[in-house]
Amino acid sequence: MDPYKHRRSRLGHQYRKGWTHYRQHRTGIKHGHRRTSQHTKLDPQRTPVDTVRHAKRVLRGGRPAELARQIALGTLLALGIAFLVLAVWGFITVWQARDELRGAQSEATALAHDRTQLFTAGGRARAASQIGAMHRGASSAASLVDGSIPLKALSWIPFVGQQVHGVTSLVNDFNTTSTQAGTLLASLRQLISASHGTTISLNALNQLNQRVHTSVVALRPLNRGSGLLIGPLATARDNFDKEITQVTALLSTGGHLLDYALPFLGADGPRTYFVAGENNAEMRDQGAVLSWAVLTANHGYFHMTKSHSVGTIRIRHPAPVRLPPGTLAAFAQLEPTQVWQSVNATADFPLSAQVMAAMYHQRTHRAVDGVIGIDPISLQHILEATGGVFVSGVPAQVTSHNVLYVLMHGLYLLYPKGYEQGRRHDEVAAVASAAVAKMKHHPYDLAYLVDQLAKAVRGRHLLVWSRFHVSEAAVTSFGASGSLVANGPSAVHLAIESAVAAKLDWYVHTAVIYNVSVDAHGTALIKTTVVVDNTAPKGCKPHYVCGPSRPNSTVPGQYVARLDLWLPAGAVSPGGLPESGLTLVRQTVDVLPKHRQTIVLEADVPHAVRNGHYTLWFIPQSSLTPQLSKVTFSAPNWSVSGPASTVWTAKNITSYTWTLNH
């Protein structure tokens, strides 16, 4: 049926008298209407008295309900028009703010994607310009949204107000972030300009430390969550929250580092550190300790003594350090509290460092405040910042490009005979001393040096222990303690430890596959397959590198080692024992030149699944060649969220988490 229309009616007539009237028009029902008072006003024959009487009859006849509906419809129409105007006005404001914020965001993205510019003076100047532009854009956007009348009006409307608040909070949070970035960069530049050579400005360092902690407090609450936000606004909020979480985590770690750096540099009085030069061509858990030096620091000034061979500080009796029962059971035959080359057999560097401090004190009657373990790979990072150095006994300049070859292989080729080693002392500590000495007279970028040291820490090539509990806690928090359980008891650590007095680890490469499966009861079975590849040439010379080292090896190039696998605490395996807070499983490796050996170890981890999650931390060995690693995960009786299989090169600590539901 066609819609019904009056012969004469005002615009919008069918909408003005309620739903029933509207349906009459829509469904084609013919109907009429009584004349209103307006029509009577136009009748010249009606007197005012008649008009009043007619109005009373209208009121008595229910016309107020119709009038009320008309008033309500008019009000709603007015509100709708007002809302439309405010929405358009607010949209224009938000769009203008978006343009301002987009420019600021592009500057922030450029800065985030090229953090290396912070490590040079020119780069920091560019970063300051980028942060300035970012702050101007964010500040302008914040002024637009904060001063917007339509946005303030719209904020009172349910749901719409939440979107408005989401816009204003996001813009202001970005402005806060840019302000903190500018403050931190200014403090960093002040520290670098106030520090020279081997003297670090403690005042500037303390100011930077305070501002880092202040920024963490200011930025951490900005992770607000998207809540009821919708569309692109929710996406923008989630992306911002993700970035701010990463930034606050980095700043928090940096704060812990600065908390440690101040007393380390002698802010609370003189400090003395034993520097252990670790040789990765003869691996223990870390490299074998073959050279040493002493680093002193006071009021920001640091100095390193000339290096020596550990043969100059041999001791006749074990140092008075009580080893845990598991460590004694695993390593006692190596005499780790008396023989310098064995002190790093355990994976727990805090324990090894305490033993080194005690051994040094027993031999020299001098106490140290801490121990620093340093290997050629950490020297590679240091020389990247300081430039090459010359060392007595090394016929060429040692640089970041050749330091590994020179120290781990070249010098042994130059002095192949055992009796020639007096002419070739281990030079790990010597290169470190030369690098520190060079800092006194040659400019270097302090920020770049710290970044390179951080890279060495992540691979366990640079480890630090402090006898002060507060400092040791800070060291642990930024990952330099060398403790296997710093991130919790669910750690996995594989070490190939040489059992011959040779330098064959230069030729050794390892690969490992961890097959992890979880049964219906939440017990994890970890099957570890290790391949040890000995690339040493058959009959290789010189014999000081390749051996043989009787009684353990009888053929030149024969690699004999202990395969030590630390698994999560509580793991059960034949012959397993508690060590370094985890469970140690062991097997002997014997590989001839140009051969490889495959070893398989299995262990059960009861109650592995906790609160529906299972996490494993894979901690690398600080070897010359990083282990090629793979983990596969299966749980047939569970619904699993997480990587089923992944491959990585074990340069840094890596963690994987799986979520399991029945």
Lowest-pLDDT choice from 130-139, 215-224, 393-402, 457-466: 130-139
pLDDT in tens, 584-633: 999 999 999 999 999 999 999 999 999 999 999 999 999 999 999 999 99
Tokens of 248: 């606050």
| Beta carbons within 8 Å of 558's beta carbon, 6+ residues apart | 500, 547, 548, 590, 591, 592, 593
C-alpha span between 632 and 514 (Å, rounded): 6
Q: What's the predicted TM-score (pTM) here?
A: 0.82
pLDDT of residue 645 exceeding 60, the answer is yes
| Beta carbons within 8 Å of 428's beta carbon, 6+ residues apart | 277, 278, 279, 287, 290, 291, 307, 374, 375, 376, 379, 407
Quote the pLDDT of residue 172.
Answer: 81
Closest of 565, 381, 403, 564 to residue 461, by C-alpha: 381
* Mean local confidence (pLDDT), 330-357: 96
Closest of 443, 273, 288 to residue 369, by C-alpha: 273
pLDDT in tens, 274-306: 999 999 999 999 999 999 999 999 999 999 999
C-alpha span between 562 and 622 (Å, rounded): 16
* Mean local confidence (pLDDT), 635-653: 94
Element (H, E) at 272: strand 271-283
C-alpha span between 39 and 47 (Å, rounded): 13
pLDDT of residue 544 exceeding 90, the answer is no
Cβ count within 10 A of residue 454? 17
Quote the pLDDT of residue 238.
Answer: 85
pLDDT of residue 28 exceeding 90, the answer is no
Task: Round the average pLDDT of the chain to a whole number and report it.
Answer: 84
Quote the pLDDT of residue 88.
Answer: 41
pLDDT of residue 2 exceeding 80, the answer is no
Q: Are 326 and 584 in contact (CB under 8 A)?
A: yes
Q: Specify the pairing of strand 370-374 against strand 271-283.
A: parallel
pLDDT in tens, 250-269: 889 889 999 999 999 999 99
Q: What stretches of 195-230 show up as alpha helix (H) in DSSP?
A: 202-219
377 pLDDT band (50/70/90 cuts)? very high
Cβ count within 10 A of residue 363? 15
Q: Are 282 and 545 in contact (CB under 8 A)?
A: no
Q: Are 568 and 490 in contact (CB under 8 A)?
A: yes
509 pLDDT band (50/70/90 cuts)? very high
Quote the pLDDT of residue 113.
Answer: 57
54 pLDDT band (50/70/90 cuts)? low
User: Which residue type, as a one-letter code, is found at position 59?
Assistant: L
pLDDT in tens, 442-474: 999 999 999 999 999 999 999 999 999 999 999
In the DSSP assignment, the letter for residue 499 is -
CA 652 to chain centre: 11
Q: Which residues pair with 373 in a beta bridge?
A: 276, 463
Q: Are 291 and 309 in contact (CB under 8 A)?
A: yes
| Beta carbons within 8 Å of 197's beta carbon, 6+ residues apart | 439, 440, 441
Q: Are 502 and 546 in contact (CB under 8 A)?
A: yes
What 3-state class would DSSP assign to 442? coil
Q: Are 617 and 516 in contact (CB under 8 A)?
A: no
Cβ count within 10 A of residue 153? 18
pLDDT of residue 189 exceeding 60, the answer is yes
User: Which residue type, as a one-letter code, is found at position 338?
Assistant: Q
Q: Are 280 and 432 in contact (CB under 8 A)?
A: no
pLDDT in tens, 109-167: 555 556 677 788 888 888 888 777 777 766 766 665 666 665 566 565 665 566 667 77
CA 279 to chain centre: 29
What 3-state class would DSSP assign to 437? helix
Name the residue ranges covered by the structural domains of the chain: 75-264, 271-477, 491-661
Q: Are 582 and 617 in contact (CB under 8 A)?
A: no
583 pLDDT band (50/70/90 cuts)? very high
What 3-state class would DSSP assign to 107? helix
Tokens of 461: 């090539």
Tokens of 639: 């619904």
C-alpha span between 119 and 453 (Å, rounded): 13
In the DSSP assignment, the letter for residue 601 is E
